Amino acid sequence: MTATPPLKGIISYPVTPFDAVTGEVDLAALRKLTGDLVAAGSHAVAPLGSTGESAYLTEQEWDAVCESVLATVAGRVPTLVGVSHWSTEGTIRRARVAASHGATAIMVLPQAYWKLTEAELVRHYDAVARATDLPMMLYNNPGTSGVDLQPETVVALAREIPNLTMVKESSGEVSRFRAIRELSDGELSVYNGSNPIALDAFRAGAAGWCTAAPCLVPQQVLELHTAVSLGQHDRADALLQQLLPFLRFIVHHGLPRAVKAGLNIQNRPAGPPRPPLLPLPEEETRQLRTMLTRLQAAG
């Protein structure tokens, strides 16, 4: 029996704005950005992923961002909160905060300095899953975590943990979408976290696309999803071709840097990324401005 996913479509990831002078979290700008994402038609909003620089927030800041985003969304669309922390205890704490503010689901990256064994992964995910009644998304992003969870490992973990019902797959390997669905007999919903393969992922059965791109170009991203949903293959291919240089650019240069630079270009300032990250350099900012101008004209 195929599971009904609690999330589907375009799952938009906001950056966490910082005040350009004080460096503190700018909650007013965060509420504005979150409201923009909902108003644009995002099917879900996902704060506190790597795009949101969650690793660079204090626990007090993390709580404030979580509360502000969920209060702004106010149940209008589902929410997916990234609760990853170096420790199991810290991840559990964040999961409970997300649940207390009404999150739809939580996302957990195996964030660890030491490479975790399968037994350690099971214990970590199981402990976090038991902390709330929320459905949980396993996040496989070998580029940032250093851990690459193969489809067989992902499905084995899900069999041990009942409310692990979703997988965000960011390896960029399209074959994994079908593999995870087939190995789990359709019980696991799979989501794409690799921007450049968005169309191939949907065609391989991805339930949704987890992306920060709607912060800057929501119309084109949502139109692509609509075209896929309606079986308008030529239209979807054309839209992706328009978007690809931009999608590859923001991934290559780092989402917090690139998205914040883009927001500044659009006169929607979100401040700089937090050190050790540096703002996007001037030449790359110029390239991004050109891309955004072209996309606006094409839209």
Q: Which residues are annotated as part of the binding site for pyruvate?
A: 51
Q: Select which of 8, 13, 125, 168 is catalytic.
A: 168
Select which of 13, 125, 139, 191 is catalytic. 139
User: How far is Cα of residue 132 from the mean position of the Cα atoms in its chain?
Assistant: 21
**Residue that has been written with the tokens 């704490």 in this structure:** 93
- Burial of 200 from C-beta contacts in 10 A (0-12 / 13-18 / 19+): middle
Q: Are 37 and 215 in contact (CB under 8 A)?
A: yes
The yes-or-no answer on residue 168 being catalytic is yes
In contact, 103 and 113? CB cutoff 8 Å? no
How far is the C-alpha of 242 from the C-alpha of 221, rounded, in Å? 10
Query: Is 125 annotated as catalytic?
Result: no
Q: Measured between alpha carbons, how far is 232 from 183 in angstroms, rounded to an integer?
A: 29
Q: Which residues contact 198 (CB under 8 A, 6 or more apart)?
A: 192, 209, 211, 224, 240, 243, 247
Q: Binding site, residues?
A: 51
Sheet of 80-82: strand order equals 44-45, 9-12, 208-211, 189-192, 164-169, 136-140, 105-108, 80-82
Helix axes 27-40, 218-229, angle to 10 degrees: 30
Residues carrying an active site annotation: 139, 168
